[in-house]
Amino acid sequence: MHYTFELSTYNRLELVDITDQILHIIKTSKLKSGTAIIYIPHTTAAVTIIENYDPSVTSDINAVLSRLIPHNIHYAHTEGNADAHIKAALIGSSRTVFFENDEILFGTWQGIFFCEFDGPRRRKVFIKIIAD
C-alpha cells in the first residue's frame, strides 16, 4: 500500500514533526503489524527520527547544520541552495519504522521529522506500508 500526503513549510530551515500523519496512515491501512517506509522525493529535503519532546532539539540540529554547512559560501552549484542539497544528502531521504497494534515501535521521546532545507515550499511525503 502506498500513501502520499503534502505539507507546507514556512522557513528556509525547518524540522516538522510528521509523526501524527504517519500514525494516521498506519491506522488507515487497517494492518495491525508491519513496516512503514517514509520517503521524501525532494533533493533539498530529508526525513529523520529524533526526540520530539523538547523543541530545542530541532533548533540545535538546525543551528549545528547551519554552522557545518553554511548557506552563503561559494559552492560550485550556483542556484543558491547547494547547502540544502548537502544537508539533505547527509540526513537522508528515507526512514523505516516498525509498527504493532497500530503503534510505531518507538524508543522514548522519538518522533518522525520532515527536514526542510530550502523552504518555504510545498512538499510531498510518500509512505509505503508493508504487512508482516
Tens of pLDDT along the chain (132 residues) come to 899 999 999 999 999 999 999 999 999 999 999 999 999 999 999 999 999 999 999 999 999 999 999 998 999 999 999 999 999 999 999 999 999 998 999 999 999 999 999 999 999 999 999 998
Give me the pLDDT at residue 118, please: 98
pLDDT in the model for residue 35: 98
| Distance (Å, whole) CA 116 – CA 66 | 12
CATH 3.40.50.2300 assigned to domain 2-131? The reply is: no
What's the sign of the alpha-carbon dihedral 7, 106, 39, 36? negative
pLDDT value of position 79:
92
Which residues have CB under 8 Å from 18's CB, separation 6+? Answer: 7, 38, 47, 112, 113, 114, 125
Q: Which residues of 35-47 are buried (b: 16+ CB within 10 A; e: fewer)?
A: ebebbbebebbbb
3-state secondary structure at position 42: coil
Q: Cα–chain-centroid distance for residue 123?
A: 11
Q: Which residues contact 65 (CB under 8 A, 6 or more apart)?
A: 13, 87, 117
pTM of the predicted structure, to 2 decimals: 0.96
Rounded to whole angstroms, the Cα distance separating 64 from 66 reads 5
